[in-house]
Amino acid sequence: MISFQLNQNDDELIDLALKEDLGFPYADVTTQLLFKDLPGNQKRTVKMISKHNEPFVLCGLPIINALTKKLSGSYAIEPYYSDGEIIEPGTTILLLKGDTTGMLMLERSILNFVAHLSAVSTLTKRFVDKVQSSGLKILDTRKTTPGFRHLEKYAVFCGGGVNHRMGLYDALMIKDTHVDLVGGMEKVMTLLPEVQKHKYPVIVEVRDQQELKIVLEFGRKKITRILLDNMNPAELENCVRLCAGIIETEASGGINLNNIEQIAKTGVNYASVGMLTYEAGRVDLSIKGVLGTER
C-alpha cells in the first residue's frame, strides 16, 4: 500500500471544495428537504464503481477519508483496492458506510477528486509502460492545477512516475531566462559554488551543444543534472553522449506518448512531461446505492 500524508495545503483545498459545493455553513437544501422527516440520521451503504471504458490506476483514497472527517456523523470506508492498483471497467472500488445525508453532501466532491487524480496516475502509467525496458524515468513538472500540486504529484507517483521539484523553494534550477538575464552561461557558472555547498540539487537547462560544452567545462562539480531543452532526438542523443559517465541528463519540451520511446532510445536519464497533469482529464466514476444515479 502506498503511504501518503495530506499536508496543510491539501486540507485547505478540501475545505474550499466543500465550501464551493455546500456553501458555509454547509447546506444541501435538497437533501435537507427530502430527508427532514427521517427518524434520526439513517445509516446506509453506498459503493463507488468504475464506469470508465478501460482500466485505470486508482488514486485519491486519502482524500475520501479526509472529506468524511469534515462533516459531523460517523463514516467508514471499506476499500477493495489501494491507490496505485489497476481498476477494471465495471469494478466496485469501495464501500462507504455512514449517515445518509452526509454521503449525499460529499458525493460530488469525492468523485471530483478521485476522478481527476486517477486520470493523472493513469496517464503517467501509460508513459512509464512505454519506456519500462529503457530505464528512463518519467518526471512531472510545475505545470499543475493551482492548489493541487501536492496531490497531483502524489498521483504521478501512484502511476509509477518520479516527482521533480515541488516548487521554486526545493531545488536550484537555472533556466534559459536566468542565463539570458545574468549574461550568458559562463557567467552563470562563475556564480555557482561547488555542488556540495548547496542545500539543494542543482539543475541547469541548456539549449544547444555550445551551452552544454560550457557547462561541462566550468560546471562539472557545480551541478547535479543537465536539462536538455526542446531538442530533436538527434541533438538529444549527441548531448547525452557528451554527458555519459559525467553527469545525469533530463529531456524536456514537447514530450508526448508518440515520441517518448524515441526519446528513451537516446539514453537520457529523465524526461519531464508537463501533460501528465495538465492534459490528464478525468476517469468516469459513479457512486451508487441510496444515492441513485450520479448527479
CATH (residue range 129-278): 3.20.20.70
Pick the closest to residue 137 from 148, 124, 150, 149 (CA basis): 124
Report the catalytic residues.
Answer: 108, 143, 175, 205, 229
Q: pLDDT tens for residues 72-123? A: 888 999 999 999 999 999 999 999 999 888 999 999 999 999 999 999 999 9
Question: Torsions phi, psi of 79, nearest 5?
Answer: -80, 140
Domain boundaries, the chain: 8-123+281-288, 129-278
C-alpha cell at 136: 528512463
Q: pLDDT tens for residues 139-154? A: 999 999 999 999 999 9
CATH (residue range 8-123+281-288): 3.90.1170.20
Angle between helices 100-130 and 8-22 (to 10 degrees): 130
What's the rounded Cα separation, in Å, for the pair 291 and 213? 63
Does residue 206 register a pLDDT over 80?
Answer: yes
Give the single-character DSSP code of 265: T
Tell me the pTM.
0.94
Provide mean pLDDT across the span 200-225.
94
At 117 the three-state DSSP class reads: helix
